[in-house]
Amino acid sequence: MNDRIASAPYGHLPDGRAVTRFALSNRNGASAEILDYGGILASLRVADRDGRHDNVVLGCADLEGYCADRSYFGALVGRYANRIAHGRFRLDGTSYQLACNDPPNALHGGHQGYNRSLWRAEIRGNAGGPALALHHVSPDGDEGYPGRLTIEVLYAFGADDALRIDYTVTTDRPTVVNLTSHSYFNLAGEGSGDVYGHELMIAADAFTPVDATLIPTGEVRSVAGTPFDFRAAAPIGRNIRAADEQILRGGGFDHNFVLRAADAGALRLAAVVRDPRSGRVMEVSTTEPGVQFYSGNSIDSRRRGSGGRPYRPGDGFCLETQHFPDSPNRDSFPSTALRPGHTLRSTTVYRFGTDR
């Protein structure tokens, strides 16, 4: 089997626009399926320790499900991934009011974020495997954000079973930008039950505690002695019901972890996850300074998943590589400002293997 990319119709949006599904396959029999609607990673099939390929990302059964989805299954999110307090920030002396779609805060770009955009797709040759470039132009004032953004997101799936996502963004006015992929993973296979037995290591010595509305307080707190200490691999479910204020606020884990320092633009290890049942291992590397670990606490169980089975909270986890939540309002956090003449470049790699 050779590396290849194929496309097929996936349906039509309510306004009649056609949606296409792209399948990137490698010589190992692994594959990734991506929609041009929302840039959604709809399926990712990789081998377990016995060579069986299963889909390890959660998703919806059809396009209607994705259009109604409120869990951001597999989607590209922006203009600002995660939360901005009260949907307000100041940049260069000017105040901006955003759409507050997660009252009282702005979340993942607003009511019509990039997860609800139809991206322009371009199939590309790539020495590292089949690649799909997605393009989107976000107009000035989109959901309250200043500046016209020109965005390219490149998905590449190589023979090493690594899904690489490269983000490239430019603007014509000063603005703030924070993009991520909101995929939910279950390394035992989509729809197979909860992920609490998955063993997680996060390469972070600190995290950013949140207030009651999940906005960072500004503190950078050591993970030592807390349920957030994943410096050594531990089951996701080990402390998920701990009587800890931060766990109670998130309903589980829904927090930004401060990754260890690396050279600017260099990939750094963010996390490693292992599923003891299947033997699958996922390694996450990124150029971003943080990663949001979300234990799927509020997964919407009203619809069936892509495999036909209903989901429950905890049936998937997210590792959203990112800048920190509410950074535009926190001078001590890494800046998310982007100005004309500069290009934002960000890369995240999800590499899959087995424990033998």
**Predicted confidence pLDDT, tens digits, the chain (356 residues):** 567 899 999 999 999 999 999 999 999 999 999 999 999 999 999 999 999 999 999 999 999 999 999 999 999 999 999 999 999 999 999 999 999 999 999 999 999 999 999 999 999 876 667 899 999 999 999 999 999 999 999 999 988 999 999 999 999 999 999 999 999 999 999 999 999 999 999 999 999 999 999 999 999 999 999 999 999 999 999 999 999 999 999 999 999 999 998 887 899 999 999 999 999 999 999 999 999 999 999 998 777 899 999 999 999 999 999 999 999 999 999 999 999 999 999 999 999 999 98
CA 112, CA 92: separation in Å to the nearest integer? 26
275 close to 56: Cβ distance less than 8 angstroms = no
pLDDT number for residue 301: 76
pLDDT number for residue 304: 85
Closest of 21, 19, 25, 20 to residue 5, by C-alpha: 25
**Among 199, 255, 320, 323, the one annotated catalytic:** 320
Neighbours of 18 (CB within 10 A): 12
Neighbours of 332 (CB within 10 A): 9
pLDDT number for residue 268: 96
Provide the token pair at 198. Answer: 């998955």
pLDDT number for residue 325: 98
pLDDT number for residue 43: 98
CA 185, CA 252: separation in Å to the nearest integer? 16
CA 61, CA 41: separation in Å to the nearest integer? 13
Mark whether 182 is an active-site residue: yes
Cis peptide before 104 (omega within 30 of 0): yes
**Among 108, 136, 182, 323, the one annotated catalytic:** 182
pLDDT number for residue 127: 67
pLDDT number for residue 190: 97
CA 203, CA 200: separation in Å to the nearest integer? 10
Fold of 4-354: Beta-galactosidase; Chain A, domain 5 (2.70.98)
What residue has token string 């759409």? 99
- What pTM was computed for the model? 0.97
261 close to 267: Cβ distance less than 8 angstroms = no
- 25-348-124-51 Cα dihedral, nearest 10 degrees: -10
Provide the token pair at 111. Answer: 């009511």
Secondary structure of 148-197 as H, E, C letters: CEEEEEEEEECCCCEEEEEEEEEECCCEECECEEECCECCCCCCCCCCCC
